[in-house]
Amino acid sequence: MPPLMKYLVVFILIVIIYNLFKAFYHLSNGKSNPKQVVKSLAIRVGFSLALFGSLLLASYFGLIKPHGLLPIEQSNSQQPIIENKKGATQ
C-alpha cells in the first residue's frame, strides 16, 4: 500500500474517533443541544462510509492488496504425509 494511502486511512480513522468522542461530550453535557450530538454522529457515519467505499475502490483498482492475518509461506521442502490403510504414516 502506498504511504500516502496509509496516512489517509489513519487520518480518517482519527477524524472518526474524534467525532465519536465529540458526540459523547455533547451527549453527556447537560447544557448542550441534541442537534449537536446528531450532527457529530452523522459526520462520523459519513466518514465511516467514505472510508469503507474508498477502501473498496482502492482494492478494486489494485492500489491495495488484501492479505490474511498470517501469510502462509510456501516451501518446496515439505513432502505430503501419506497414510497407509492401517493408519500408520510413512
pLDDT 10s digits, 14-63: 999 999 999 998 888 877 788 888 999 999 999 999 999 999 998 898 88
Helix (H, G, I), strand (E, B) or coil at 87: coil
Q: Provide the domain count of the chain.
A: 1
Does residue 67 form part of some domain? no
* DSSP string for residues in 24-79: HHHHH-TTS-HHHHHHHHHHHHHHHHHHHHHHHHHHHTTSS----SSPPPP-TT--
Does residue 13 form part of some domain? yes
**Domain interval for residue 13:** 3-60
Does residue 85 form part of some domain? no
Does residue 47 form part of some domain? yes
pLDDT greater at residue 36 or residue 86: 36
- Beta carbons within 8 Å of 86's beta carbon, 6+ residues apart: none
0.85 surpassed by pTM:
no
Does residue 80 form part of some domain? no
Does residue 38 form part of some domain? yes
